[in-house]
Structure 1
């Protein structure tokens, strides 16, 4: 059944001149399929950039809605589909455009820098869009120019950038439901059980967890750490969907999920985004057979958001 479904999907992708781009946090089946069919597995901005540069007429995004929007912003002439239009992101949800725009107006002297995990409308309101991998370098650059920053939406990533750069930053109070769950006290106990392990932490995690890290970085940086570092055991504090790629690049290394147990947690380690989990092979096949969940963005909003994203692309290509 599974083999038959995958065969059908591959045929339909080819027939419809469509490309599948998948995030590191979706299921391993979707990640493998994306790479086998000429697509990509990456972070949200690279997914969008790949979609823009490929020859496909249709970009199918295995991820969450804001990732589909980013792909559409960079490829306005292409059809962009998501597998489930209800698959959202707590960071996106935590930053509604009306409230955020009013907040920006209250602090008009600040340069608005927003994380990629935001709606097209929020990106359009921003001066800069950044990723977890580029946030430090962009904010450091702006700080050196004497600019004061209004940062949104992730307070933990913002706090990490603030601590590292010393920039004058006003933080919007959003957070990721997955990274928010990691517990420092339980992580300390786990580190004692595995004293030779390196601890890899995504900067969307709380500061107390970040302070325990061997490596703090984006999804790509954490994957590269598993691949390139000498340690044979890694404690990983990010969405466990990343383990698929980590196992692929370092099959003989041991990966341990960082603990989310503690007050308010409902399992010992449950670091997986429920919205990412909504992406399935069945929904991909349905999307190909009956195109739906198309991403559409107001032209003016898309143009303004593209400007903010392009500033980052130009900056990182220097």
Structure 2
């Protein structure tokens, strides 16, 4: 991996990219009935359906439910869209989610509230750098996390989500395979520890999950001693080690339904609280604290790019056709192979 994408430089690259996106957008969080009514009308007029990620704002998630759409993780968003008869999918999330939807549904129009909403894992794993990295280890299987560009997926043998990554890597270990993993080093390290796989890790991280601190969580645990600690595996090892449950967004959501605890300390994006509170209205959900050197308010328990999504931008995308996802067909077909491999494995 070149010096350009070491951890310090990656943080600078991510923050610069985010600052430029914020300057180019007037970020609003408008939740008024007039815009909601217009969106509902446009969804019907355009034969469109809204698919929203768990990390988007409550108003968008609520609207997805009200209009027959879905709130889900990135893979289920794309799968729901592929199986839906709508001609247009409006993907509220970040860019790689829209690209995944387009890979699986090339015949459909894929719109996003803004194409400026990306992901630190995605921009921290550029295709030229990553291809050169992979070329150094031609004997290894390339496994990439869903939080990557279509071009990076096209370079991979497997695409995985956090909910299926352990199973896929265990399968590859049984086949005697050695692995290149990208881009999240914390999720990769967790999988490596759990499976004993021979893995070379790309040095990337999520700017939200990397900021969670074990000490802060343990201090909070002394205030709420009966709380269960729920952790997404994109978090640092020290945070994962103190968790009661480690899992994907959907797995953490299920844990809150099934565990007897009345209080949960949650180390993932606070956008998930909408569905957690909906599923368990009598339970209490507390954001895991972030602090320490390099921490930024932009990354405190909420993805800054997810925050770029708004009802106003969603309306504009439907009305004007802005934010459309396009992928070169050659890239799409190559990326479809590892995605389909994962879907077949999951079945």
CA contact (8 A) 1:234 1:256 kept: yes
Find out whether 1:232 has 2:262 as its counterpart: yes
Q: What is the root-mean-square deviation of aligned Cα atoms in Å?
A: 1.2
Q: Deviations over 1:48-74 (max 9, x none)?
A: 011111000001100000000000000
Unaligned runs of 5+ in 1: none
Instruction: Name 2:21's counterpart in structure 1.
Output: none
- Report the CA distance between 1:267 and its aligned residue: 5.3
Q: Please give the secondary structure, in 2, of the residue aligned with 1:84.
A: coil
CA contact (8 A) 1:23 1:44 kept: yes
Q: 1:310 to 1:182 in 2, by over 3 A?
A: same
**Which of 201, 218, 227 pairs up with 2:248?**
218
Q: Please give the secondary structure, in 2, of the residue aligned with 1:19.
A: strand
Find out whether 1:18 has 2:45 as its counterpart: no
Unaligned runs of 5+ in 2: 1-30
Distance 2:37 2:321 in 1: 18
**Which of 119, 130, 134 pairs up with 2:149?**
119
Find out whether 1:176 has 2:206 as its counterpart: yes
So what's the TM-score if we normalise by structure 1?
0.98
Q: Deviations over 1:169-215 (max 9, x none)?
A: 00000000000100111111111111100000000000000001000
Q: Deviations over 1:111-134 (max 9, x none)?
A: 000000000000000000000000
- Report the CA distance between 1:270 and its aligned residue: 2.0
Q: Please give the secondary structure, in 2, of the residue aligned with 1:60.
A: strand
Find out whether 1:204 has 2:222 as its counterpart: no
The count of residues paired between Structure 1 and Structure 2 equals: 317
- Report the CA distance between 1:5 and its aligned residue: 1.3
So what's the TM-score if we normalise by structure 2?
0.90
CA contact (8 A) 2:207 2:299 kept: no
CA contact (8 A) 1:260 1:267 kept: no
CA contact (8 A) 1:9 1:285 kept: yes
Distance 1:11 1:198 in 2: 42
CA contact (8 A) 1:257 1:269 kept: no
**Which of 300, 306, 322 pairs up with 1:270?**
300
